[in-house]
Amino acid sequence: MGRVLLPIALVAGVVFAPVCTRAQHPLSLKSVSVDLPPGADMFPNGPGADAVNNNCLACHSADMVLNQPALSKAQWQAQVNLMRTAYKAPIDTKDVDAILDYLVSIKGGK
């Protein structure tokens, strides 16, 4: 997965123009294999944390939520609805209220 430098001539030899310019030199690409950080941290403890951990972390890490600004309950409700309807998060209906209460408790607005 080493970075492959193209020949300097490739970048040095073309005539400048604001649109695409041609450059023909040998070039090879290398297969790459990487590891991504798992992002498996749990949400901070609190009432409803289990519901949030069980329903939210499959699709995204907790930091996405923890970096959000304070939002009103209506805004959090809209986000939970977005996750369920648009992004098909299989959130158990009985968990929705617990998730919402948790989000408001850690990131509630006025």
Distances (CA, A) of 38 to 5, 31, 73, 87, 101: 29, 22, 30, 21, 27
Q: Per CB under 8 A, which region of 46-54, 69-77, 94-102 contacts other proteins?
A: 69-77
In the complex, what is the shortest distance from the CB of residue 51 to other proteins, in angstroms, rounded to a whole number?
Answer: 17
Residue 33 touching other proteins (CB under 8 A): yes
CB 105 within 8 A of CB 48: yes
Q: Does 36 bind other proteins (CB under 8 A)?
A: yes
Window of 44-52, 60-68, 92-100 that interacts with other proteins by CB under 8 A:
60-68
Partners of 108 in the β-ladder: 71
Residue 93 binds other proteins (CB under 8 A): no
Mapped onto helix, strand or coil, the DSSP state of residue 16 is coil
Residues 6+ apart with CB under 8 A from 6: 25, 27
| 61 lines the binding site for other proteins (CB under 8 A) | yes
Residues of this chain that bind other proteins (CB under 8 A): 1, 3-6, 8, 10-12, 14, 16-25, 27, 29-39, 41, 58-61, 63-64, 66-71, 75, 79, 86-90
